[in-house]
A and B are shown apart, each in its own frame.
Chain A
Amino acid sequence: MDPPTIPEEKFWRKKLKEPKAKILIVDDIEDYLRSLENVLKKDYEVLIAKSLEEAKEKAKEGIDIALIDIRLSEEDMTNRDGLVFLEWLKMNYSDIPAVVMSAYQEFDLAVDALNLGAKYFLKKPINLVELKGTLKMLLEGKSKD
């Protein structure tokens, strides 16, 4: 016997009711935040944060995925607050997948990020196809867990 099919109208009603996944973007540069927000807001609910403290507060609201820049200060070249936030996130919400991004093209920073629990390291400028594919894959993986 064939499995029962869902009428199209019912399918779309269900689809429209599904809440969008919530993505937190953490970056100190306004241009990056706005550009990424514009690109992602069609498919996701986007939260943004420009500092470590703001990122922690937003994460407490409940997020599905975090997209974090390593450096969160334009003035301080040694700033690694993005990695500090990643460590905090993994300690408090270990099931939230995190993607780290950086304009630094430094391999050792990627080692730090993955050691702290990031799933992927994306190099700035962000490749949108890669970003969207990564987010989709992580969210699908998360829904299977």
Chain B
Amino acid sequence: MRATILTGDNELKFSLKRYLRFLFYEEIKEIFTAKLGEPSSLLPEMLSTELWIAEAFNPDNIENPEGFRTVKKFAGKAKVLVLFISEVPENFPKSGSFWICLPSGESIYEKIKNVIKNPPPSEEDYEYLEDSWDLLRYGPSHHPRGKILEEKIEGT
């Protein structure tokens, strides 16, 4: 099995990578990492990884569920664990078959084990979470104009 870790935070990314490497070395043979807010960190190989562990929200933009939207694209195809690290609404389910709100008393090891054992979450599974929290439906709507090119080239 190959896994992709998608987080906005480098420390979390490296911790998860080490965790998977040391505790799931039998199941997970290759680990890719990518960063929320950095779409160019996506590699074509990641699209076919069997497991995704993703932070639901971009910590640099806490109202943007970029990670959740990304893993939803793999509904029915990839096994997923969604991590909710920021505050969630009162009635939001704190844990389920493919998500967990952190910090939590639950064992992450067992959580990942179960995710690997279970079939990939379906579109309806993701919609259940969206129904519990409207913000998860939020799509990108900004289009910053800003600079045109990163470098100024002489004569242009």
B147 close to chain A: CB less than 8 A: yes
Interface residues in A, total, Cβ within 8 A: 36
Q: Name the one of B36, B153, B156 contacting A107, with C-beta atoms under 8 angstroms.
A: B36
- 9 closest A-B pairs by CB: A110-B39, A125-B147, A108-B69, A108-B70, A106-B140, A110-B42, A38-B156, A127-B150, A35-B148
Instruction: Give B152's nearest chain A residue, CB to CB.
Output: A128
B5 close to chain A: CB less than 8 A: no
Tally inter-chain residue pairs, CB-CB below 8 A: 93
Question: CB-CB contacts of A113-140 with B at 8 A, as 1s and 0s?
Answer: 0110001111111111110000000000
A-B contact pairs, 12 of them (CB 8 A): A32-B148, A35-B148, A35-B149, A39-B153, A39-B156, A74-B143, A105-B38, A106-B140, A107-B36, A107-B70, A108-B72, A111-B70
A77 touching B6, Cβ below 8 Å? no
Interface residues in B, total, Cβ within 8 A: 32
B34 / chain A contacts, CB cutoff of 8 Å = 107
Q: Name the one of B38, B143, B148 contacting A77, with C-beta atoms under 8 angstroms.
A: B143
B117 close to chain A: CB less than 8 A: no
Q: Name the one of A29, A38, A78, A110 contacting B40, with C-beta atoms under 8 angstroms.
A: A110
Minimum CB–CB distance from B121 to chain A (whole Å) comes to: 16
